Amino acid sequence: MDLDPAPRTDPAPHIDPVLHNRTAWDRQVEMGNEWSRPVSAETIARARTGDWSVVLIGYEPVDRSWFPAELAGVRTLCLASGGGQQGPTLAAAGARVTVFDNSPRQLQQDEMVARRDGLELRTVLGDMRDLSAFADSSFDLVFNPVSNLFVPELAPVWRECFRVLRPGGALLCGFVNPDVYLFDHEALERRGELVVRHRLPYSDLTHIPADERGRMRGADVPLEYSHTLAEQIGGQLAAGFVVVGFAEAPHHSDATAGWLPGYFATRAVKPRTDPPAPAR
């Protein structure tokens, strides 16, 4: 067992994770990453008739009860959800969709589907921790598939989601089970072996030496952060949300699937009234 006694100090602290991951995801689009392949015209046509589904974690469609009963006119922010998949599908189902993503190339995939199929859909480039492009209470729904592993801290994400949602609006969020990051990346991805290597919480910048990081997670691969469940679920609660739904799914592509859930998802609601002040 190669267990890190403590996270390493990053030998390259000048790395900007936003800029690195923007470039990396642009390259992932060029390389044909499965989460950057636009949906077909047939999928859009079916969605227009009410036959639609989208994924939040793994390959499992989101329970339709997590969405409003009627999507027509629902102001929806697809947060860090570029790639031409969920946003266009929800727009075809009737939602008023804005896709927000850190990668210009990911957003271009959504724009391509919108042009191809005559959809009304807005795209905005930015860091998911900063939604200042949007006014308070701008959205009825925030749809955030697995993506917050690409940002260093989550508290700003939850605060911004809470701010831009109207009272009664919902945040649907998927995220990686942090326990997955216990394991050595190379052994897991190349040999399908579960080799415990890292202490949690994990970060590519603090747990992987620079030479190894350059070989395994160079300019083509986004930097990742594990984030604790306290940051994930506790952070939503601290921002003011009420968590009303929870789901899990196996990882879709690695050997952890037979041992533990690779993904979790939450449905959280912004209360219609301010919560009572805590007792003094």
AA letter at 188: L
Q: Exposed, middle or buried: residue 46 (CB in 10 Å: 0-12, 13-18, 19+)?
A: middle
Mean pLDDT for the chain?
91
pLDDT given at position 184: 85
Residue 193's pLDDT is: 83
Neighbours of 217 (CB within 10 A): 18
Q: Using the predicted structure, report yes or no on whether residue 13 has a pLDDT greater than 80.
A: no
Percentage of the chain beyond pLDDT 90 is 73
In this prediction, residue 210 carries a pLDDT of 72
**70 has pLDDT over 90:** yes
Class of domain 17-177+228-269: alpha beta
- pLDDT at residue 137, as a whole number: 98
More confident residue, 260 or 130: 130
CA–CA separation, 205 and 212 (whole Å): 11
pLDDT, tens digit, for every residue of 125-163? 999 999 999 999 999 999 999 999 999 999 999 999 999
- Integer Cα distance of 84 and 40 in angstroms: 9
- 211 pLDDT above the threshold of 80: no
CA distances for 117 relative to 97, 155, 205, 217, 261, angstroms: 15, 37, 41, 36, 36
* pLDDT at residue 188, as a whole number: 79
Among the ranges given (53-62, 169-178, 214-223, 230-239), the one the predictor scored with the smallest mean pLDDT = 214-223
Q: At 236, is the secondary structure helix, strand, or coil?
A: helix
Q: Find the mean pLDDT for residues 218-223.
A: 84
What confidence tier does 216 reach under pLDDT thresholds 50, 70, 90?
low
Report residue 100 as tokens: 């927000």
The pLDDT value given to residue 11: 47
- pLDDT at position 73, please? 98
Give the pLDDT of residue 183: 87
pLDDT grade for 8, boundaries at 50, 70 and 90: very low
Query: Which one has a higher pLDDT value, 229 or 208?
Result: 229
Q: Is the pLDDT of residue 194 over 60?
A: yes
Determine the Cα–Cα distance for residues 164 and 141; give it in Å rounded to an integer.
9
CA nearest neighbour of 139 among 125, 122, 117, 152: 122
